[in-house]
C-alpha cells in the first residue's frame, strides 16, 4: 500500500458495464380502445350515403354503433334512410389518432350473409389533399358475404394508376379472431391470430409505395352491398352485427440496454490501494493512490443478459497512467491473452473523467 505513489490514478465512484449491442426495439402499446363503456372521442362516427365510392347501399349513421358489454357493435339494418334501403355505421380516427408504422390489431367477430362487407382498415391522412389512392390504404381485414376467408390488401398510387396487392387466409369469421398488421419502413405484414399470411415490401418506396411512410388513421365499418360483395343482400340476415372487442396500436421504441453499476470501493479484494471519501453526491468512497501493479477484484458479477459489454471507468490522474482489466482473474475469456489495455490516461488533472474500453 502506497500513500505517495509515483504513478497515481484515482478511480472512483463508478465502474459501469454497459451492454454494447444495438438497442433492442420492442413493441410498446401507444394507443388502445378496449371499447368499454361508450364510444370514445378518438372516433368520429360518420353520417351519409352516396355509395362511398363502391356503390354501397347503406346509409351510415351514429345510431347503428354502440358499446355493449365491452364490445363495439356495428349493426346493419333494413331501414330506409337518405334514399338508401339499409343503415349501418362507419367510424374513423382521422385527425385524432394517426400513426406511421407500428402493429395495429383488433379482435373482431364478423356477421355472415350475402351482401355484407365488414372491414377494419386504414387510410392515409393525406386523403383530403391528395385523394385516393395517392393517400394509400391498408386493409387489415376485409370480409365479404359468407366466405370462410378474410383478406388483407394495400392500395396505393403507382404512376398515376391504382395498385393493389391482396392475399387471404381461411378462418371462421363468425368467431372472434385477432387481425393485425405489422408495418415498418421495410414492409407491411398481415396476421390472423398471430400467424402471418401476407407481406409487401415498401423499402425505399419499392413499387411507388411512398404513401406508406406517412401517417394513417383507422376505420371500422360494415357496408351493405357494393361492387365487391355484389348488389344482392340476404335481408333474412338483418339486422346483423360486427363485434369489435378492442383496437390496439403498438410502436417500436428503443429500450435502454442492460447495464451494471459497480461502486469501485465495493471490490471483493484488492492489493495496494486505499479508499477515501468521495465528494460526489451519493458517491460513497473513492479508490485512490493506485500504483503500478496494484489491483482491485470484483467477484460474482451477474451480467443482466449475455452479450458484448463496454466497460466505462470513471477515473482521474494528474500525471497520466494506464489501466487494464481482465476477466475471471486472468483466465482466458477472450481472444486476447493476458491483460487487455482498456484505457490510457493522459494528464487530466484532478477532475474525474470517463474512459471506455470493450470487454
The catalytic residues are 137, 142
CA distances from 179 to 23, 316, 340 (A): 29, 57, 53
> Is residue 247 near Ca ion by the rule CB under 5 A?
no
**Smallest separation (angstroms) from Ca ion to the CB of 248:** 10
CA dist., res. 68 & res. 47, Å (int): 21
Task: Select the span of 110-118, 187-195, 206-214, 261-269 touching Ca ion (CB under 5 A).
Answer: 206-214
Residue 209 or residue 326: which is nearer to Ca ion going by CB?
Answer: 209
> Is residue 165 near Ca ion by the rule CB under 5 A?
no
Beta bridge partners of 87: 59, 77
Task: Select the span of 68-76, 110-118, 164-172, 232-240 touching Ca ion (CB under 5 A).
Answer: 68-76
**Smallest separation (angstroms) from Ca ion to the CB of 297:** 56
> Is residue 246 near Ca ion by the rule CB under 5 A?
yes
Tell me which of 33, 56, 142, 157 binds Ca ion, using CB under 5 A: 157
> Is residue 138 near Ca ion by the rule CB under 5 A?
no
> Is residue 245 near Ca ion by the rule CB under 5 A?
yes
> Is residue 187 near Ca ion by the rule CB under 5 A?
no
Beta bridge partners of 349: 317
**Smallest separation (angstroms) from Ca ion to the CB of 358:** 44
Residue 72 or residue 342: which is nearer to Ca ion going by CB?
Answer: 72
Tell me which of 34, 147, 234, 291 binds Ca ion, using CB under 5 A: 34
Tell me which of 208, 263, 285, 310 binds Ca ion, using CB under 5 A: 208
Q: Where are the beta strands (DSSP E) in 2-83?
A: 9-19, 25-33, 44-45, 58-60, 65-68, 71-81
> Is residue 234 near Ca ion by the rule CB under 5 A?
no
Which is nearest to 352 in space by CA: 5, 12, 3, 4?
12
Range 310-340 burial, b when 16+ CB lie within 10 A, else e:
bbbbbbbbeeebebebbeeeeeeeeeeeeeb
CB 152 within 8 A of CB 167: yes
Type and span of the H or E element at 128: helix 127-130
Instruction: Please give the residue ranges that form the binding site for Ca ion (CB under 5 A).
Output: 34-35, 70, 156-157, 208, 245-246
Amino acid at each position: 500500500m502506497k500513500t505517495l505513489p509515483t504513478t497515481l490514478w484515482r478511480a472512483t465512484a463508478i465502474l459501469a458495464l454497459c451492454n454494447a449491442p444495438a438497442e433492442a426495439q420492442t413493441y410498446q402499446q401507444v394507443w388502445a380502445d378496449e371499447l368499454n363503456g361508450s364510444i370514445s372521442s378518438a372516433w368520429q362516427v360518420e353520417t351519409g350515403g352516396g355509395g362511398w365510392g363502391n356503390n354501397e347501399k347503406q346509409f351510415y349513421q351514429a345510431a347503428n354503433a354502440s358499446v355493449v358489454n365491452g364490445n363495439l357493435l356495428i349493426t346493419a339494418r333494413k331501414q330506409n334512410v337518405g334514399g338508401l334501403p339499409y343503415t349501418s355505421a362507419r367510424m374513423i380516427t382521422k385527425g385524432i389518432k394517426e400513426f406511421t408504422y407500428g402493429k395495429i390489431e383488433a379482435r373482431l367477430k364478423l356477421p355472415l350473409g350475402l351482401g355484407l362487407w365488414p372491414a377494419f382498415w386504414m387510410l392515409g391522412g393525406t386523403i383530403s389533399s391528395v385523394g385516393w389512392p395517392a393517400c394509400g390504404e391498408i386493409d387489415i381485414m376485409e370480409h365479404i358475404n359468407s366466405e370462410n376467408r378474410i383478406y388483407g390488401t394495400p392500395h396505393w398510387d403507382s404512376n398515376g394508376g391504382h395498385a393493389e396487392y391482396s392475399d387471404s387466409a381461411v378462418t371462421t369469421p363468425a368467431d372472434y379472431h385477432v387481425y393485425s398488421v405489422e408495418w415498418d419502413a421495410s414492409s407491411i405484414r398481415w396476421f390472423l391470430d398471430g400467424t402471418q399470411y401476407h407481406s409487401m415490401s415498401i423499402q425505399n418506396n419499392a413499387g411507388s409505395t411512398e404513401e406508406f411512410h406517412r401517417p394513417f388513421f383507422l376505420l371500422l365499418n360494415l357496408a351493405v352491398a357494393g361492387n365487391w360483395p355484389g348488389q344482392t343482400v340476404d335481408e333474412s340476415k338483418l339486422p346483423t352485427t360486427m363485434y369489435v372487442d378492442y383496437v390496439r396500436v403498438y410502436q417500436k421504441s428503443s429500450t435502454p440496454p442492460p447495464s451494471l453499476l459497480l461502486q469501485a470501493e465495493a471490490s471483493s479484494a484488492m492489493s495496494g490501494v486505499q479508499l477515501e471519501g468521495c465528494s460526489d453526491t451519493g458517491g460513497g468512497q473513492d479508490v485512490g493512490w493506485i500504483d503500478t501493479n496494484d489491483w482491485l477484484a470484483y467477484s460474482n458479477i451477474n451480467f443482466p443478459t449475455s452479450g458484448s459489454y463496454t466497460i466505462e471507468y470513471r477515473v482521474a490522474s494528474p500525471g497520466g497512467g494506464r489501466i487494464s482489466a481482465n476477466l475471471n482473474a486472468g483466465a482466458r475469456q477472450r481472444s486476447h491473452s493476458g491483460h487487455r489495455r482498456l484505457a490510457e490516461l493522459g494528464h487530466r488533472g484532478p477532475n474525474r473523467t470517463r474512459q471506455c474500453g470493450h470487454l
